[in-house]
């Protein structure tokens, strides 16, 4: 009897999971189909009508990537800016958080526990409020730091700094939970053998924390790649430094009626994050689970 109930429960759970997956992916499927439909069809009929009268075209993607002769798209020109912004914005907090998490987990010093609590509390600070002091730092300076007034490609540094600062609380908290949960016997045995902090970091901590590092890297990559507020505020929004998200925000046109551009632009912008996510999906899932429980 219990076996029958378990099978029924399992089938019911599977059916519910499949139903949720279908509901979740249906709008995305509609967006994908719409990205291949002509402009007139998109503006006059629903995407599901393609099943009866299929009319597909690549003009939307051509317009978005190269401009289509009217200068409305040219996302390809902003692709490099997105890469230049995203890669350092992932590596900087990843490296700094790894060192900080090791120090908080395995080096005894006064005020360590209070510092861990303070770092955890920083995660509740809204992004919008954090941008105000960052803007003042770059425009007016602070204490011994002069105002930078950066222009051109140098403004990438502002975006890197902002994303690093905003990501560090979560990164340190996640990696601290992972490193603090490693077996103490292994660490103590390595110290007895004369292992230095560098050896512990590179030979023991790094291999064991690799799933958590990959998990954070995926989260940070997707977040930075899809970011609009920080990039628009600190990069200046010019074609020289603006990422794809800034250009996507203007694809709808002056009156917001150029929907065919948005459907194609959405999938152009989503291609790289999806590639990263599927490439590291195993490490991503393991990393989230590793950082969820201490010990």
Q: Is 122 exposed, middle or buried (0-12, 13-18, 19+ CB in 10 A)?
A: middle
Instruction: For residue 60, count other CB atoms closer than 10 A to its CB.
Output: 27
Q: Is 140 helix (H, G, I), strand (E, B) or coil?
A: helix
Whether 201 contacts 213, CB under 8 Å: no
| Cα distance from N-terminal residue to C-terminal residue, the chain | 38
- 43-78 pLDDT, tens digit each: 777 888 877 777 888 888 887 877 654 445 577 778
**Alpha-carbon dihedral sign for residues 41, 47, 48, 50:** positive
Model confidence at 31, in pLDDT bands (50, 70, 90)? confident
- 244-256 pLDDT, tens digit each: 888 887 776 666 6
175-199 as b/e: b if 16+ CB within 10 A: bbbbbbebeeeebeeeeeeeeeeee
- 206-215 pLDDT, tens digit each: 888 888 888 8
Q: How many angstroms separate the CA atoms of 247 and 268, rounded?
A: 12
Helix axes 210-225 and 259-279, enclosed angle (nearest 10): 170
Whether 212 contacts 280, CB under 8 Å: no
37 backbone φψ class: left, alpha, beta (φ>0; ψ -120 to 50): beta
Q: What is the pLDDT of residue 189?
A: 81
- The answer, yes or no, to whether residue 149 has pLDDT greater than 70, is no
Q: What is the mean pLDDT of residues 196-203?
A: 80
Mean pLDDT, rounded, of the chain: 79
Q: What is the pLDDT of residue 225?
A: 92
Q: How many angstroms separate the CA atoms of 173 and 179, rounded?
A: 10
């Amino acid at each position: 009897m219990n076996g029958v109930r378990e099978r029924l429960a399992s089938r019911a759970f599977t059916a519910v999971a499949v139903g949720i997956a279908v509901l979740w992916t249906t709008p995305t499927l509609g967006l994908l189909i719409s990205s291949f439909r002509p402009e007139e069809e998109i503006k006059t009929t629903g995407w599901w009508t393609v099943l009866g009268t299929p009319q597909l075209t690549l003009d939307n993607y051509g317009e978005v990537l190269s401009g289509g002769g009217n200068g409305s798209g040219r996302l390809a020109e902003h692709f490099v800016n997105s890469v230049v912004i995203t890669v350092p914005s992932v590596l900087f907090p990843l490296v700094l958080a790894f060192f900080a998490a090791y120090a908080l987990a395995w080096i005894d010093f006064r005020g360590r526990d209070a510092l861990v609590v303070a770092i955890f509390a920083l995660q509740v600070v809204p992004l919008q409020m954090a941008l105000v002091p960052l803007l003042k730092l770059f425009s007016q300076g602070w204490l011994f730091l002069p105002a930078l007034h950066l222009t051109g490609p140098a403004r990438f540094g502002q975006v890197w700094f902002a994303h690093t600062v905003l990501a560090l609380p979560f990164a340190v908290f996640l990696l601290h939970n992972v490193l603090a949960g490693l077996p103490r016997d292994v660490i103590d045995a390595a110290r007895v053998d004369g292992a230095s902090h560098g050896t512990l970091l590179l030979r023991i901590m790094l291999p064991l924390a690799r799933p958590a590092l990959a998990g954070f890297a995926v989260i940070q990559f997707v977040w930075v790649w899809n970011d609009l507020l920080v990039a628009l505020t600190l990069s200046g929004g010019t074609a020289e430094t603006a990422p794809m998200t800034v250009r996507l925000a203007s694809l709808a046109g002056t009156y917001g009626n150029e929907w065919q551009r948005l459907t194609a632009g959405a999938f152009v912008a989503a291609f790289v994050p999806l590639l990263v996510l599927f490439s590291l999906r195993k490490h991503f899932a393991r990393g989230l689970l590793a950082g969820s429980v201490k010990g």
